[in-house]
Copies of this chain bind each other. A is one copy, B any other.
Amino acid sequence: MRKAFHEELDRVAEMLVEMTHLASSAMGRATTALLDADIQLADSVIAADAEIDARRSELDLMSFDLLARQQPVATDLRVIVTSMRMSSDIERMGDLARHVAKVARLRYPLSAVPPELRSTILQMGRVAEGIVEKAGSVIAARDVVAAQQIERDDDAMDDLHRELFARVTDGSWPHGTEAAVDITLLGRYYERFADHAVSVGHRVIWLVTGEFDPASEASHEDAEDGSPALR
């Protein structure tokens, strides 16, 4: 009975890791679609988000069922509660990748990204892909040290985001208001994507150490705190 239970908990972790792969792939492909103005690729990202949503629903049902049937305590209980939260974070990352793909779709056959910002967006896409893959490894290995490193990757994303805003608002933006709106939203989507990876890291730290740090989420939120603080 307990063996079957722990196999189920392992399966939950596996499903979370699979979701991180899907989210990473989605954001990588969305970034390519955006930079290459590739509408087929954008559409494939938009369509594939349903798969991430379905995984999340499946995982949440499984977690709820485990709570009801197994009445877990201590670490097992933390695993399940944390999994429900992480599934929500990763599902949201999938949504944000879809938002990026929708901007690509909206501007087709043009690219929404002006030439001088392509490099910054490319880097944001790479940081996004990397940070969610790291979040997956952290989940798989319950690796507290790597979980803490996720914050540094998020700092890199914040720097890129700041750079993006500086370009848009430095007074010499030549691309018009619509392009400024696109870049503002894109910056926010990538930034929020990384925030959710940080959140996954915090949850794994809590899972392993049992230390509930009420400030962690809020203080991180202060650091990322919307784009105004970044400008």
Interface string of A59-74 (1 = CB under 8 A from B): 0110010011001011
CA distance A105 to B111 in the complex (A): 34
Q: Is the CB of B218 within 8 A of A50?
A: yes
Q: A60 contacts which chain B residues (CB < 8 A)?
A: 212
Contact of A99 among B49, B50, B61, B226 (CB under 8 A): B226
Q: Is the CB of B99 within 8 A of A228?
A: yes
**Interface residues of A, dominant DSSP:** helix
Q: A227 contacts which chain B residues (CB < 8 A)?
A: 181, 185
Q: A212 contacts which chain B residues (CB < 8 A)?
A: 57, 60-61
Q: A184 contacts which chain B residues (CB < 8 A)?
A: 180-181, 184-185
Q: How many interface residues does A have (CB within 8 Å)? A: 52
CA distance A113 to B105 in the complex (A): 29
Interface string of A65-98 (1 = CB under 8 A from B): 0011001011001000100110010010001001
A177 within 8 A of B: yes
Q: A68 contacts which chain B residues (CB < 8 A)?
A: 73-74, 77
CA distance A156 to B143 in the complex (A): 45
Q: A95 contacts which chain B residues (CB < 8 A)?
A: 221, 225
Contact status of A77 and B99, CB under 8 A, knowing A177-B177, A178-B169, A185-B226: no
Question: Which of chain B's residues has its CB closest to A69's CB?
Answer: B73
Q: Is the CB of B226 within 8 A of A189?
A: yes
Q: Please, could you name 20 A-B residue pairs with CB atoms under 8 Å apart, sorted by A?
A: A49-B218, A54-B214, A57-B214, A58-B214, A60-B212, A64-B81, A68-B73, A68-B77, A71-B71, A84-B85, A85-B88, A95-B221, A98-B225, A99-B225, A102-B225, A106-B228, A168-B177, A169-B181, A173-B177, A182-B228
